[in-house]
Chains A and B, each alone.
Chain A
Amino acid sequence: AQSVAQPEDQVNVAEGNPLTVKCTYSVSGNPYLFWYVQYPNRGLQFLLKYITGDNLVKGSYGFEAEFNKSQTSFHLKKPSALVSDSALYFCAVRDRGSGTYKYIFGTGTRLKVLA
């Protein structure tokens, strides 16, 4: 079955330290991969996406993500965390192989950046 896993419910990191939010997926074809962020009482905002090409994609607010085909992972990273990065992060895939192109979201990872 198609699925997206975010193994950590919460990630704590000190301000100024690098952060990583993990995402792995299981889909039948070559997916489009996305990261979204949700601030309190708000809808989700698009951060970045991977379509094809360079495995390292850069997005909004200094975030980047690394696509690893062999490990079917798409981890979100940032070199230096800010307190304002504290939010709920969702990984999502859109499966091209199945023909349905359904969006599949992970369960979310709460990032807490400590001052």
Chain B
Amino acid sequence: KAGVTQTPRYLIKTRGQQVTLSCSPISGHRSVSWYQQTPGQGLQFLFEYFSETQRNKGNFPGRFSGRQFSNSRSEMNVSTLELGDSALYLCASSLAAGVGSSYNSPLHFGNGTRLTVT
């Protein structure tokens, strides 16, 4: 079974531009979440989607947005890029079927997209 696929692997953008990152979850996984990883801050939760609906949102500005499609694939968009947005962005999927016990399903991570803003 194919793992979580994130594209592209690397991106270099200029301050002020916008960027879209893509994530294809493991087949059958309906929950997709996004994280920002930086050396000093560890993993910061961005948002989680389930069945095309945003289920949870982290403490990031509105420049960060996402969506999920009917095939569970997800995209994350960052507008008006700032230097501080440079990070590794990780997508994860899980076999969450809804509420309750599905919340203890482990996350399966992609290898990430490394975004550099200059």
The prevalent SS among residues of B at the interface is strand
With both beta carbons as reference points, the residue of chain B lying nearest to A34 in the complex is identified as B106
Given contacts A42-B111, A43-B111, A105-B35, contact A49 B42 (CB under 8 A): no
With both beta carbons as reference points, the residue of chain A lying nearest to B42 in the complex is identified as A107
Instruction: Determine the chain B residues whose CB is within 8 A of the CB of A51 once the complex forms.
Output: 104
Residue pairs across A and B with CB atoms within 8 Å: the count is 57
| Docked-complex contact A32 and B103, CB < 8 angstroms | yes
Within 8 A of B (CB), among A27-65: 32, 34, 36, 41-46, 49, 51
Q: Which size bracket describes the interface of A in this complex?
A: 20 to 34
| Docked-complex contact B103 and A101, CB < 8 angstroms | yes
A107 to B4 alpha-carbon distance, docked (Å): 23
Q: What 0/1 readout, one digit per residue, does chain A (88-109) give for beta carbons within 8 Å of chain B?
A: 0010101010001111111110
Contact of B45 among A41, A42, A104, A107 (CB under 8 A): A104
**Residue of A44, A45, A107 with highest tally of chain B CB at under 10 A:** A44
Instruction: Determine the chain B residues whose CB is within 8 A of the CB of A46 once the complex forms.
Output: 106-108
With both beta carbons as reference points, the residue of chain A lying nearest to B96 in the complex is identified as A101
| Docked-complex contact A49 and B90, CB < 8 angstroms | no
Instruction: Determine the chain A residues whose CB is within 8 A of the CB of B48 once the complex forms.
Output: 102-103
A51 to B43 alpha-carbon distance, docked (Å): 22
**Distance in Å from the Cβ of B20 to the closest Cβ of chain A?**
19
| Docked-complex contact A44 and B90, CB < 8 angstroms | yes
| Docked-complex contact B109 and A44, CB < 8 angstroms | yes
Q: Which residues of A contact B (CB under 8 A)?
A: 32, 34, 36, 41-46, 49, 51, 90, 92, 94, 96, 100-108
